Chains A and B, each alone.
Chain A
């Protein structure tokens, strides 16, 4: 207990420093390219944090989280293309799209553990195949997806253009911070503790009178909604929603980010997501020709090495050092 108290101020200091660092990115980033990279990293961080609620806290290892991301991307894109690009409704659409798809995918809640993982994976692949189905091309754009999606327009400040990388970056940063605070509140709440109880021993929680299925369903929907939010941001960032976002490699990358960063910490997965985005980018822009084309291979090798040598995650490593 006393050790915890000692750590507290340092933790606050660290968080404040990190916030300053994030706020100042557009100030020192060498050019727009890097600001865009930072936006991408934050979007992925939101996505990874939402997955951490499932993997880390509720003990539900979803390998189909990309489906909800894609739901947000497509929902947001359709809304922005056909109705309006006002920011606040768009954010709500992203949340709703992710949450509604999570209701459909709740079928997977029938299973637990590794079976749950396989079901969510299969579910997401089905979503992917529907999105890339060319018979629906007039609605969903088939295997090309939806393109020329406009960026959202800010309320009260419509003249602040989100087409400018720095402005969009601040939008993603704001959303990321809100999502972080919301998730932190969720996991610290009685609801969050119940989820952890279910992770540790579902049978016992059930005997204590908790309707465990409803708790798991709620966690699944919250995570889906936040993934949808990330997807909506990702869609407007890329000006498009493509079937590839629902592909299982997206889920895999998110899962890697969660585990690599250290699950059950929110901060860890967010950091892991940033590392994954930077790795992807760094490997795909290696100076040596030929190597850059093989970034996927190198990424795979990094993951394998990581699983073998650092299974506790980066955050786990830090924690071990601190202890």
Chain B
């Protein structure tokens, strides 16, 4: 989910957003706050992506629009500046400790399937993520907006010439990517916890997923997530506690065989 957001932002806008992890963290904290006030998990689940969408749009309009011409490095540094600001703001407002989002009512227990018990919340997450992924895939392939985005990835200038308002598309994409990240932040809150630094722990995973899957492709992002998730789960069994190494190994193999990522276009 997170990777899809980053991948689309990058693919379409040619912007590498290091603050993407921050959006994910901010999403979790928005969820935490809304949950604290209203006590309703589902409300938090809606509020976080909305809030992040707004934040994303603001950042795009106020900051990014000014530096598209300056090239990648400047954009990366800008987003790097943002990560520093966001993580410190969060630490300031909420403190350095780990908060836990309570598991939403009705999903606390465990479910027994074929004699194996699963925490119901994890099942919910799996289900929810699958639905979102499927929805994204459908929207990406079938809807008008999806068509515009795909066209944008393929040839940005042409899209502009066809009379599509690129500025609006860019802002929308950025906001949408941020909203996806925010949504992911809330969803993982109940079992990974909410803490300053969660932005950094996820960022590298997401980068690897995107590189493995191929940039600018939703399908690639989903495939990459599955692969890296699998490596993350199996790696420790094989290599004993070095999940990072197993992830790197997967990345190394993919890159040696296909430098542009599994489903990426030629660079």
Q: A residues touching B (Cβ–Cβ < 8 Å)?
A: 55, 61, 63, 107, 110-115, 117-119, 121-123, 125-126, 129-130, 133, 135, 247-249, 252, 255-256, 259, 293-294, 296-297, 299-304, 307-308, 311
Contacts and interface: CB of A to CB of B under 8 A. Distances in A.
Interface of B: 16, 63, 66-67, 70, 72-74, 76-78, 80-89, 92, 200, 203-204, 207-208, 210-211, 215, 240-242, 244-245, 247-248, 251-252, 255-256, 259, 267
Given A115-B267, A122-B248, A259-B73, A297 B80 contact: no
Contact of A304 (B63, B70, B208, B251): B63
B245 A126 contact: yes
Contact of A121 (B67, B204, B252): B204
Given A122-B251, A135-B240, A307-B78, A297 B85 contact: yes
Nearest to B212: A122
Contact of A107 (B63, B83, B207, B255): B255
A122 B63 CA distance: 26
A119 B255 contact: yes
A297 B89 CA distance: 7
Classify the interface of chain A: helix, strand, loop or mixed. helix
B92 A297 contact: yes
Nearest to A108: B255
B76 A311 contact: no
A111 to B, nearest CB: 6
A300 B81 contact: yes
Contacts of A126: 204, 244-245, 247-248
Contacts of A301: 81, 85
Nearest to B259: A110
Given A114-B72, A259-B73, A307-B67, 16 more contacts: A111-B255, A112-B267, A118-B210, A126-B247, A130-B242, A133-B244, A247-B200, A252-B77, A252-B84, A255-B76, A299-B84, A300-B88, A304-B85, A307-B81, A308-B78, A311-B74
Contacts of B204: 121-122, 125-126, 248
Contacts of B208: 122
Contact of A117 (B76, B78, B86, B245): B76
A256 B244 contact: no
A104 to B, nearest CB: 10
Closest 3 CB pairs of A and B: A300-B84, A303-B81, A300-B85
A122 B211 contact: yes
A52 to B, nearest CB: 12
Given A117-B16, A308-B66, A300 B247 contact: no
B73 A248 contact: no
A129 B78 CA distance: 25
Given A113-B72, A249-B84, A307 B77 contact: yes
A115 B81 CA distance: 20
Contacts of B67: 307-308, 311
A111 B242 CA distance: 25
Given A121-B207, A125-B204, A249-B84, A303 B77 contact: yes
Contacts of A293: 92
A252 B259 contact: no
Contacts of A55: 73
Contacts of A302: 81
Contacts of B87: 296
Contact of A303 (B16, B80, B88): B80
A118 B18 CA distance: 10
Nearest to A134: B241
B92 A110 contact: no
Given A115-B211, A118-B211, A304-B63, A259 B85 contact: no
Which of B16, B77, B89, B255 counts the most chain A CB atoms within 10 A?
Answer: B77
A55 B76 CA distance: 13
Contacts of B92: 293-294, 297
Contact of B72 (A111, A117, A297): A117
Contacts of B78: 303-304, 307-308
A300 B63 CA distance: 14
Contacts of A252: 77, 80, 84
B207 A122 contact: yes
Contacts of B200: 247-248
B259 A111 contact: yes
B84 A303 contact: yes
A11 B259 CA distance: 44
A234 B67 CA distance: 35
Which of B73, B87, B259 counts the most chain A CB atoms within 10 A?
Answer: B73
Contacts of B16: 114, 117-118
B207 A123 contact: no
Which of B83, B248, B251, B259 counts the most chain A CB atoms within 10 A?
Answer: B248
